[in-house]
Structure 1
């Protein structure tokens, strides 16, 4: 009888194969939950239009509430992927391993049939685009302290993607609508890594085409040269938006057809840079704000090799330093007509330029 008991026990163990409940199509999603379509429809009231909180080139975003009360943001991807399900899930698994305070956390996904749905943490204060460039809400005023923190936090998130993460991620679409703000207005970069999931020709589709175009580095927009320096350029434009409270999609600054970056550079040349500052900021430290704008110019130089690394940008923004303006050259501009308003980007001497900016970009003030 004893042997029979042991035998029965042995048979039972053999009939219980190891199974990962969060494995989908052979891909173990260790850090993200595999949601069912039913769960997400329930959370979003069947994707009710009143739950819609955003829309862009990658899809529509809905606010949702899980059965346990947790708030989520559900992004239904609108563009078809060239990848199969397993390849798609493998990319999602890679993105889910990326953790940083200034990056939106991916907490789950849903892959059923042709559906591709991503589930993110819910970020309370919507996007920077909504708060800064949309209808002004006096209850969510962005003073200089908050704007400065948004600039530095976004720079840190990009520096992590570019320099600390392996393999590195180039975002491709840094803009105000992709910077989300939590309850304390801390910035979180969204949609990082998604460009890898779709064909190159749709990575910049947006409901605000002009707005997205306003962020594009000329060498990327005109020649398809994609490096992390394209993100640096976009970040520079973003800083000018944060300081001015104006959209880069406008092209009538100063009563001319100049875009934001072009107008800001003209004010810099004429020594009138403070005229760009948003009156909504209130009181602000003039020297610091001017330094931030000059950092934006370093980020948007026409020749990509002259732009700093994002780790250098973090240093320039967060420390009281004197910028070496002898290293600063004019920005490059991309117009909707498809032509740059500056001379050929390949012109000029670049013999002593490398991928890393020369160390003379900044000089530390003596104590």
Structure 2
């Protein structure tokens, strides 16, 4: 008897010989970023328009920006002035939107009551870790759990952003390159075990990140901030495609264990200060300069000198607590959407923008 000819087995089907190769289609590339993408601009009320840009941030929250994240970013530049607020006009009322509201894409003024000429921190070298954080960065608004495990790899196991098991790296919250700043600000006092935290390599200053996310974090392409009681990724830089914003913006982190919220806050400050174009606008400025430091060579500057041991004003405080030099006297609704954290995989058993170092 002549055997019947065999039918060809197609990919994804099962023939008489058992399972066959199943191929997945190629990933679709991310679409290009719209060049007219919306951005929110934040202005200083003490200077002429056109020469008063504090900060420009991409508006990726439903074509707007998270109110509290934007306000705190501006407050950082103003030497941790938590009493500052946003308004539409130089002398207009403060915005009525709540901290987790989405601000439409437009221009805003960051204002401090009674001090339109408030000074600005020119670089991270002159930024002081504030002794008190804004309420939105404290428990329970920004929860961090305890852990008996100190090593970040054994404590976190998976990437805190992607949930990936491999390839991950131990990432420093405050970078090792800022070791001198760490010492000047006595950052060991914000760690769980101060006597074991005299440099940036302490356990409280490390988390586990996938290698590509670690690189992008170090490049200030995103920040880790609290929103609506969750720790999330906030994209700070527009890319040529929408990959970062679609994949990571407002993505909730895996739970954070045994790390310092003060370190996360200072890392956010490092990114924000590095993005500010304030010193590149060829205008005399009032700056916050730590005692013993020289003025930046960024054109004529007006100086406000402060002692390294002095503390920033608390929320609601009036005026600038600093020693001034003689020259220094001179409505559409949107909803915040936070993405759930990535599921864990199954397991088998710093210079200012002007280019002048400050």
- Bin for the TM-score computed over the shorter chain: under 0.3
- Structure showing greater relative contact order (alpha-carbon pairs closer than 8 Å, 6 or more residues apart): 2
Q: Comparing both structures, which one devotes a greater share of its residues to helix?
A: 1
